[in-house]
Amino acid sequence: MKICKNCGSDLVRTKRLDAHDHELGGLRVRLIDSAVRVICEKCDQRAVLIPEHEGLIAAAAIGRVMMPLKLDGSEIRFVRKALGWTAAQLAERIDVTPETISRWEQGHSAISPKCETHLRIVAASTLSELAPAIDVDLMKIGKMQVCSVRESSEPVLMEFELVKVKQEHQKAFSWDTMDEGHMARAS
Ligand SMILES: [Zn+2]
């Protein structure tokens, strides 16, 4: 049974939302049929619950590095934080200096194509365990033609849904990207 955090009432209704836009550390995600609106019938307190939040961060980072659009500074920072790494740790993994990471993240210099591919592969392979529903193709990332022209300065919008996956003989929920045809741009 759910209890209202505001008034303690148990007269709480829940409703699964068809689509819910969520801001995730600079990335925008649209959650399809997955987020839950909670409404207290006594005090009218409303909240939206996002299940599997840690998995969503990993899924969003993987979704973004599989998308062939050049990463900007805030996206590089998002991916690094999804990995749980400091700038120094990421720098070591992709063979640059921590100062270089900092320049990319602040938008003072653009990441080179070679480093970007390296970063994408490291991120996708490291995070895939946390987003087992997503089919990560490292070969495809390695050969990806990254488009460096953004059509707008708006954050990229990616769509995700919660699906059931089987892991070690147990069923669990995990975030999956909607197919690329569903990738939408923020408007
Ligand atoms: Zn209440």
**Ligand 1 centroid – CA 51 distance (Å):** 21
* Residue ranges with strand state E in 52-185: 156-167, 170-177, 184-185
**Ligand 1 centroid – CA 15 distance (Å):** 16
Q: Which domain holds residue 126?
A: 12-185
| CATH number of the domain bearing residue 80 | 1.10.260.40
Of 65, 83, 66, which is closest to residue 75 (Cα–Cα)? 65
Tell me whether residue 3 is in a domain.
Answer: no
Tell me whether residue 2 is in a domain.
Answer: no
pTM, entire model: 0.89
What's the CA gap between 101 and 89, in Å, rounded? Answer: 10
**Ligand 1 centroid – CA 45 distance (Å):** 5
**Ligand 1 centroid – CA 44 distance (Å):** 6
Tell me whether residue 7 is in a domain.
Answer: no
Tell me whether residue 48 is in a domain.
Answer: yes
pLDDT in tens, 87-98: 999 999 999 999
Tell me whether residue 63 is in a domain.
Answer: yes
**Ligand 1 centroid – CA 48 distance (Å):** 14
pLDDT tens for the 187 residues of the chain, in order: 788 989 999 999 999 999 999 999 889 999 999 999 999 999 999 999 999 999 999 999 999 999 999 999 999 999 999 999 999 999 999 999 999 999 999 999 999 999 999 999 999 999 999 999 999 999 999 999 999 887 777 888 999 999 999 877 788 899 999 865 444 443 3
